[in-house]
Amino acid sequence: MSWTTKPLVAGDVEIVKRVLAHVDGGTTDEGTPWREPVENYVNPNRFAQELDLLRSMPSVFVPSAIIPNKGDRVERAAFGVPLFAVRGHDQRARVFRNACRHRGFALVEDAGCSHALVCRYHGWTYRLDGALSHVPHADGFPDLDMSTRGLIEVESYEADGLIVIGALDSGGTSFANSDLDDALDWLTDATPWRDKFLPAERLISVESSRLAINWKVLIEQFLEGYHIRWTHKETLPHLYDNLTVVEAFGPNARVTFPYRSIEQLRDHPETTWQGNVPATFVYQLFPNVILGAFPQLGQVVVVDPIDVDHSQVTFYTMARTDADQRLSLDAEPEPDPEEIARYITRVVAEDNEMSAGVQRGFRAGANKFVEFGRHESAIGHFHATLSDRLARFIATQA
């Protein structure tokens, strides 16, 4: 990737100026409208192609905050592939395929911490670096070479609070190495989100649920403010109706949802705006991860496709550790992060209800395509990126 000196996303002062201009003009950021065929949400063959694509690309696995200490481990099925991450005695985070090399039993079944990884089926034991260290009654396996039977590691990188994995399916036809390197660069260079997300380092909760919703519909619900007045009229009165700032950087996007209190900044010098924007910053990291940066906490939302009609959604919620250092312009006490997390759960439940209704509506046969307007351009950017990458991926298989 060839970087320029121009920032990938706007700084806080520019964001505030753009929002206040929208407030004064009754406008919002606009881009190119998009029409996505309904067939692309309901066709099992299309879903299978998408899943093959996602397995051939790098993606965010988990936030670093979930395994902060030596021996900490956590599992997750990424695009249907069972994996786990563990922090070694050398403090390095590694990701492995979640299967014992004896009979394939899932080695890690839940989050925890230990000095070694022991399969509870037959007791095969692995060091935190994945090496096989003990086999009970080893004389029963005369041809076993323990040095070659360690856990199968997945290429991974840890940068700025995120653990990113490489392609899970490197066999067969895939992207060129240059394309994969470019995709990885966009996930491991945290310049656009570092100052907003990285201070959220203390894990509060992990919540996961299976939803009867296509994975793309779930991504869409995070990327526009057009629905706020109607879907969240009771829960989000402090947000504007259909007023967002939308920025694309590579395959990713950032959508800024300003709070009405941002207008109070007119009474403060611009030098005090940096780090004090009353807003939620939502980053969509292609293909399937959402970062939510709130004033009090941060969230990593992972959307795992299961089948054409179902997805597994996991929320990793972290409290900010810099609350005492952040300047308060209104002298109001910071709300409790855990209380804010519960509040966000209510908001997301409202979003999920609408997305489930969209999923049901696909089967009504009323629409040939989904209409996304100019004020929903972040969704159009997501679909355009997916369509482009899927077309190139399919072309390599021809």
Look up the CATH number of the domain holding residue 385: 3.90.380.10
In a domain? residue 46 = yes
Please give the model's pTM, rounded to 2 decimal places.
Answer: 0.94
| 374, 260: one domain | yes
In a domain? residue 114 = yes
What is residue 128's DSSP assignment?
T
How many domains is the chain built from?
Answer: 2
Report the alpha-carbon distance of residue 108 to residue 151 in Å, rounded.
12
In a domain? residue 188 = no
What is residue 247's DSSP assignment?
E
| 75, 221: one domain | no
| 137, 88: one domain | yes
| 16, 105: one domain | no
- Hey, what are 267's tokens? 């009474």
Total residues found in the chain within this entry:
398
In a domain? residue 267 = yes
| 229, 354: one domain | yes
- Whether the CB-CB separation of 299 and 315 falls below 8 Å is answered with yes
Is pLDDT larger for residue 42 or for residue 323?
42
pLDDT tens string 229-253:
999 999 999 999 999 999 999 999 9
| 273, 204: one domain | yes
pLDDT tens string 76-127:
999 999 999 999 999 999 999 999 999 999 999 999 999 999 999 999 999 9
In a domain? residue 173 = no
> What is the residue range of 244's domain?
12-56+193-323+330-397
| 16, 146: one domain | no
| 52, 19: one domain | yes
In a domain? residue 107 = yes
User: Taking 70 as the threshold, does the pLDDT of residue 325 lie above it?
Assistant: no
Element (H, E) at 141: none
| 303, 261: one domain | yes
Taking the C-alpha atoms of 156, 253, 298 and 213 in order, what is their torsion angle to the nearest 10 degrees?
-90
Supply the pLDDT for residue 7.
83
| 338, 230: one domain | yes
